[in-house]
Structure 1
C-alpha cells in the first residue's frame, strides 16, 4: 500500500502532490505547532506552488528521498504550504527571507520555533552540499545538533529576527506621509522605465524578462495623459515582440510565465491565469488606441485558450498549468523538425519550419548539460511578409497554410501527456479574469466574453462566500474555504465594476457596494490609510502587513485605489474617493523613492487626478441610437471615464442618475467632464465629438 501523509486530506493540488512523500508532512494548522511544542522540535516550513519548477526539483531530490525524509522526521515537525492558498503566510515569511538573505523565491524554506518565529530562511536546498550551498543531508543534522546544544542561541536569533520583521512592517506602515502620490511620481517612474527599456527586443532590463503588464498599462496612460509617443511605442514594441517570441504558445495559445532570455524566445513554460488576464487587458487597450488587428487577434487567441483550457464547468477559472510534463520542463510544447514532417508532410513542414524558426539541431537546450536537444520552441523570427517573399509564395496562402498546420500540430500535441492543471479556483485571480473578459467583451464587441465574465462572477457570489456573505479565497472539488485576503476583495471588486460597465446590469454594482462595505470594515487601516493584507478577524500572525508595491500582479492597495475611485463616480459616493486618496498618501514615502515599483498604483492615480468623465446613456437598449452610442463609448480608449446606462433599478444604487432621462423621448447621452456637465446630446455623432475631444 502506498504511504500517505496528512496532506492526503487537503484540497490544494500542490499539497496533494506531496501526499505520498515519506516526509511526515503537516498542513499549516495549530495542531502542528502544538506537536512541535510538546515534542520540543523546530518546524520545517516549506512554501511553494503546484507549477513551480524548482519546487518539483526539491521534492524529487529530497522530499521523495528516504534518507532525507528520515532525517527530517527525526528532527522537525514539517509543514507544507501552498502559497496560492495562503498568500498571507507566503508574504510574511518571504519578507523574512528577504530580510535575512537579501533574496527570495520558491520553494521557500524557513525554520521556525514552535512559536512560529523564524531562525533560518532560504529557498531551494539541494540534497547534497554543492557549490557552497548546504545540502539537506548536512543541514538537517546540523540544525538538530544546534537545537539540542544551542537552543538558547537559536531562540535569541528567532526573537531578534521577529523583532526586526515587526519593526520593518510597522515602520513601513508608520512612516509619516509628507505628501500624496501624484504627477512627480508619474514622471519619475516614466523616466526610469524609459531608461531601462530594451530598444532592440522590447521589455525592460535584461534576462530573465517578465511581461509585467501593469507597467505597460501605466505607459499607455502616460501616452493619453501627456501625449508621450515614446510610451506608446515602448508598449507596441513589447507587445509585438512577446507575441512573436516563444513566450507565446503558437500552437495552443496563451502566454507562458516569463522569458529566460532577452529575446522572449525561451520561456519558463508554466501558464498562470493572472498573466492571461492582465496581458489580454493590455492588448485590448493597445487595440483600442492603435486599431492594430494583430492586438485584437492576440486578445482573442489568449481568451480562446482561457475559455477552452482554464474554465471549469462551474464558470470559475482554474489557476495554472505546469511547466513540466513527464518529468521535463517544456516537453509538451516543443517539436523536432522530424515530428513536424511526420505530422504535416514534407511540403507543409518546410513552410512551418521556415516561419517558426525551426532547425534540425533545435533551439531548446537540455537544462542540466546545456546541449541542444533537437527540440524547437516555435516563434516568429520574421514577419510573415518576409517569410512569404523568401519562400516565393503568396502571403495569404502562407497564412492559410500556417492556420491549417497549427490545427494539425495542436491535435497531435494533445496526444502527449499534458502538464498538470492546478484546478483550484481563486477569488482574486478570477477577479482579474472577470475584469479582462468584461473589458474585452466591450472593446471587441464579443458578447461571449461578457457572458463568461458574468458566469464566473455569479459563481463566486453564490459559491465562494461564507454564511455571513464574506468572500472565501479558494474553491476546489465542490468545497469553498480559506478566509479571503485583501487581493480577493480588491480584484473581485474590480471585476464587478468592469462587469457593470460591460452589461449595465445594476446587480453587479449592488454586489460591489455590499462587498466594498465588508472590505472597508475588515481591512482598512483607519489610522494611516490603505488596506491590510489580512482581515481584522483573520488568524493572527507574527505581523500584519500592508502591501502597496506592485509585483507580478498589482497590489491589493493599487487595485483598491482604482476601484474606490471608480465606485465614487459610478455611485456618487464621495467617501469612496476619500478612501482612494488615503492609499495615495499612505504609500507616498516609498512610492516617491521608487515610483517604478508602483506602476498600477500610478494608473489609479491617473484615474483619480487625470481628466475625469462620467458618461450616462438614457433610453431604450433596443434603440439603434442607444446601440450606436454604446459602441462609440466601448470602442474608445478612455482611461478616465466611467460609463452607465439608466436601466430600471440604477436610481436606487446611484441616485444621482435619477434625473437623467431621455430628452423628448429620444436616446440621450449625458457627459460630465472634470465635474462639469456638458449639454445632453441625442445623436451619436455629437457624442463621438465629445468623446474625441476628451480623449485628446
Structure 2
C-alpha cells in the first residue's frame, strides 16, 4: 500500500514523474551526487529506474512493486535507489537504454538498471513484476539474488560492469560508406513498398507507430520522382490512422501508437511530439493533394493542442497519460447507454452506426469511437459536429488523465514548426501567434544567465543544459516561423542558436553532434544519435537545418557542416535506410534541385500578399521563399549578400528566382509570376 504520510527525497523535485513516486516507501534519490556518494560510503549497488509520467507500464510497476512494503524493504536495505525522468534527462536514458538493448535485445520503459557507484551497469531490464511470471524475473526474487552476488561475488559483477562500460565507448563509431546518392532514396522507397500494409496503411505489423517522418520522405520522393505509389502510401496511411481509434474523434489529437494492425486500439497516451509531426504530414498532404480532409485533420490537431496542451504563458505541455482512475483508456471509452443519455435515442442510433458503437464494445466491453468499418468517412466529422460537441462536454466531466505539464524545449520546437507550417499553408494567423508566443516564452524562460539554452521548465524553474535535439528542433521551428511570417528576429535567433549548437555539440575531430554538450554532466560515454525513432534524430535535423540556413543566409560553411554530417553517418544510413527516414528528407533536400524565391516589396502591398499566398499554396519542399520587405531594416540581410541588389521595380512587388547561386530576370508584379509559371516546364518551374 502506498505510504501517504512520509515523503522521500523526490518530494522537492519538479518533474511530475518523480513526484508520482515521492510517497513511495522506497527511499528514492533523484540522480545527484548525494546518491552516488551514499552508494560509495555504504558500499551498495545502485538500483536505477527510468520512466516518464504518462507511461502505462511505469504506473503498473509503481503500483505493483514500488508501493509495496516488501519490495521497498529489499531496495532500502540492499541498494541505493535512483529515479530518473527520461524526458528531463534523455542523456542518461540514452546510455542505459543502449545497455539494455545490447544485453537483452530489446528496450522500453520502465527501464531497470543495476550498477555500481561509478555508474557502470551490470544488469538491465525493462518492466519487472513483483513476483516472477511469464518468463520475467520478479523483484522479490531478483533483488535478494543480486544482493547475495554483491556480497559474495562482487569482483565478478564489477568486472562485468567494466566490460559493459568499455563496450559503450565503442558503439559510436563511423561506418564508412560510399557517398549518399539518389540510390539510397530508391532503396528505401522499394523497401517501404514491400512492408506497406495495403489494407490498413502503415508499415509492418502490430504494434503500429505513426512514423510521420517516413511520410514526409515519401511525399518528397513522389514529388521529385513522380512515383504515384509513394503518395498512395502516404494518403492511405493518413486516412486509415484518422479512421482508427488512435485518433480521438471526440477531443481530437492522436495517441502514441496502435496495439493492432487496424489502428483501432491505441496506447491511449498523447504526446506533444507525435501530434506536431503528424500535423506536418497532414499539412503537406493537403498541399500535395488539395484535398480539404487533410487540412481539417491538421486544424483539429491544433484545436486539441491549443485547447489542452498550451500553458497560459505560451509554452506547450509534454503529454497526457493513458490512464485515469487507475485504468488505461477509461477517459476515452463509452457504452451505448452513456452515449444515448447524452444524445437522445434518434441521434444516438445514427452515431452508433457511424462510429462503430456496439453493445459488446470493441475494447474491454466498451467502445472506442472509430471509422474503421466504413469507407464513408470524409464528412463524418462535419456531419456529427453537434453530437461530438455534446459528447466532448460530457467527457470533460470525467476524471481526466494526468497531464505532464513540463515544457520541453525540443518538443516545443517541433510544435512551433508545425504551427508555423499551419499558418503558412492554411493562411491562419492564429497558429502564427501561438507559435511566436511559444518561442518568446522559451527564449525568455529557458535560458541561463549566460544565454545557454535549457531543456525543461516547470513550476517557475528551468533546469538542465539543453541537449542537441533541443537545439535542432527549436532551430527547425524558428526557420519555419520565419518562413511563415518573415519576422527577421526569428531567423536571427535560429542563426544564433545554430552557432551555439556548433559550439557545444559539434565534434571537431570527426564530425556530427554529440548527444549532450561539452558543458553537460559527463557520463559513461558521449554518444551521437543517428537512428530516427519516434522522433527524428538530432543529427538528421541538424543536417537539414544546416542546408536551409546556408541557403537563407548565404553562409557556405554551413553547407560544409551538412556535408560532413551526412558523410559521417553515411555507412549507417546505407546499412539501414528505413531506420534513417528523416535523413532521407535531408538527402532529398541536398540532391534534388532547390531554389530561393525572393519577393521584394512592401509586406502590406496587395501584390506581395497575392504572390506569397500563391507561392505557399503549392508543395515544393526544396524551395525557400524569402520576403525582402522594403519597409523595414532587414538585419540578417547583411549575412546574405545575394539579397543586396534585389529591389522592387517601379514600386511594384518583384520576384527573383535564384538557383545554383544565380538569379533569373526579375518578374515584376503578380501577373508576370503567373505567366512565368504557366509557360515553364516542370524542370524550370518555380513551384
TM-score range normalised by the length of the shorter chain = over 0.9
Q: Deviations over 1:54-109 (max 9, x none)?
A: 00000000000011000000011000000000000010000000111111000000
The answer (yes or no) to whether the contact 1:506–1:653 under 8 Å persists in 2 is no
Aligned residue for 2:667, secondary structure, equals: coil
* Displacement of 1:654: 3.0
Cα separation, 2, equivalents of 1:85 and 1:623: 46
Cα distance 1:548–1:691, how it changes in 2: closer, same or farther (>3 A)?
farther
How far is the alpha carbon of 1:512 from its aligned partner? 1.1
SS at match of 1:121: strand
Aligned to 1:368: none
The match for 2:307 is 308
Equivalent-residue separation in structure 2 for 1:420 and 1:411 (angstroms): 18
Counterparts in 2 of 1:82-481, with a 5 A limit? 82-169=85-172, 172=173, 174-175=174-175, 177-365=176-364, 373=365, 375-383=366-374, 385=376, 402-481=384-463
Offset of residue 606 of structure 1: 0.9
Q: Deviations over 1:349-402 (max 9, x none)?
A: 00000000110000002xxxxxxx2x100001355758xxxxxxxx98x76651
CA contact (8 A) 2:208 2:263 kept: yes
Query: CA shift at 1:129, angstroms?
Result: 1.1
- Partner deviation per Cα, 1:609-653 (whole Å, 9 max, x = no partner): 211110111111121100000101111111001111113332234
C-alpha contact 1:632 1:688 (8 A) present in aligned 2: no
Deviation at 1:39, TM superposition (A): 0.3
Q: Secondary structure at the match of 2:567?
A: helix
- 1:695 Cα deviation after fit: 6.3
Does 2:653 match 1:635?
Answer: no
Give per-residue Cα distances to partners, 1:457-489, cap 9 Å, x unaligned: 111111111111111000001111111000000
Q: Which residue of 2 aligns with 1:44?
A: 47
Distance 1:89 1:346 in 2: 54
Structure 1 residue corresponding to 2:598, chosen from 612, 616, 621? 616
- Rounded to whole Å, the distance in 2 between the matches of 1:402 and 1:695 is 41
Q: TM-score, normalised by structure 2?
A: 0.96
> 1:658 Cα shift?
1.9
- Partner residue, 2:496: 514
Q: Secondary structure at the match of 1:318?
A: coil
Q: Which runs of 5+ in 2 are unaligned?
A: none
Shift of residue 689, structure 1, vs aligned partner: 5.4
Give yes or no for contact 1:348–1:401 (8 Å, CA) kept in 2: no
Residue number in structure 2 paired with 1:681? 667
SS of structure 2 residue aligned to 1:44: strand
Aligned 8 A contact 2:657 2:686 in 1: no
- Residues 506, 649 of structure 1: 8 Å contact kept: no
Q: 1:361 to 1:695 in 2, by over 3 A?
A: farther
Runs of 4+ in 1 over 6 A off after TM superposition: none
Distance 2:178 2:390 in 1: 58
**Alpha-carbon offset, residue 209 of structure 1:** 0.4
In the alignment, which residue of structure 1 is the partner of 2:633? 649
Conservation of the 8 A alpha-carbon contact between 1:259 and 1:266 = yes
Cα RMSD after superposing both structures: 1.4
Aligned-partner Cα distance in 2 for 1:204–1:685: 44
String of CA shifts for 1:126-159, please: whole Å, max 9, x gaps.
0001122110111111111100000011001111
Q: Distance in 2 between matches of 1:511 and 1:676?
A: 27
Equivalent residues of 1:496, 1:508 under 8 A apart: yes
- Counterpart Cα distance in 2 of 1:688 and 1:257: 43
Bigger drift between 623-632 and 177-186 goes to 177-186
SS in 2 for 1:45: strand
Matched, 1:526 2:498: no
Give secondary structure in 1 for the equivalent of 2:332: coil
Alpha-carbon shift at residue 676 of structure 1 (Å): 3.3
Partner of 1:370: none
CA distance in 2, matches of 1:151, 1:223: 58
Q: Residue 469 of structure 2 aligns with which residue?
A: 487
In the alignment, the residues of structure 1 paired with residue 383 and residue 198 of structure 2 have an alpha-carbon distance, to the nearest angstrom, of 32
Is the contact between residue 262 and residue 372 of structure 2 (CA under 8 Å) also seen in structure 1? no
* Structure 1 CA distance for aligned equivalents of residues 677 and 253 of structure 2: 33
Q: Work out whether 1:540 is the aligned partner of 2:526.
A: no
**TM-score, normalization: structure 1?**
0.95
Q: Quick one: distance in 2 between partners of 1:477 and 1:542?
A: 31
Q: SS of the residue aligned with 2:520?
A: coil
Check whether the contact 2:554–2:639 (CA below 8 A) recurs between aligned residues.
no
Match of 2:15 in 1: 12
| CA drift at 1:540 | 0.7
Shift of 1:182: 2.6
* 2:555–2:639 CA contact under 8 A, matched in 1: no
